[in-house]
Amino acid sequence: MSTLCVAVLGVWLLARLVLAALGRGPERLVPFLARLAHARAPHAPPRRPPDLTRLSVLRT
């Protein structure tokens, strides 16, 4: 029963935090949304490592 109480209080606290963040006005929310959109943007694929056969000193 105490686990349920902690879960309900956690959800209530999370809801209050979200409402407090949204209630401050849109000018405070714009930088957060811009960072969130940048984080979700697709990134370029990683560069391929150098071809070790071309770098090898002992190639035949």
On whether the CB atoms of residues 38 and 30 are closer than 8 A, the answer is no
Structure tokens at 9: 């209080």
Q: Specify if 10 maps to a domain.
A: yes
Q: Specify if 55 maps to a domain.
A: no
Q: Specify if 60 maps to a domain.
A: no
pLDDT in tens, 15-44: 888 878 777 666 766 777 777 766 666 767
User: What's residue 60's pLDDT?
Assistant: 57
Look at the pTM and tell me if it is higher than 0.75.
no
User: What's residue 39's pLDDT?
Assistant: 64
Residue 17 lies in domain: 1-37
Contacts of 53 (CB under 8 A, 6+ apart): 59
On whether the CB atoms of residues 23 and 16 are closer than 8 A, the answer is no
Q: Specify if 23 maps to a domain.
A: yes
User: What's residue 18's pLDDT?
Assistant: 81
The domain total for the chain is: 1
Q: Specify if 16 maps to a domain.
A: yes
Distance, CA of 23 to CA of 29 (rounded, Å)? 9
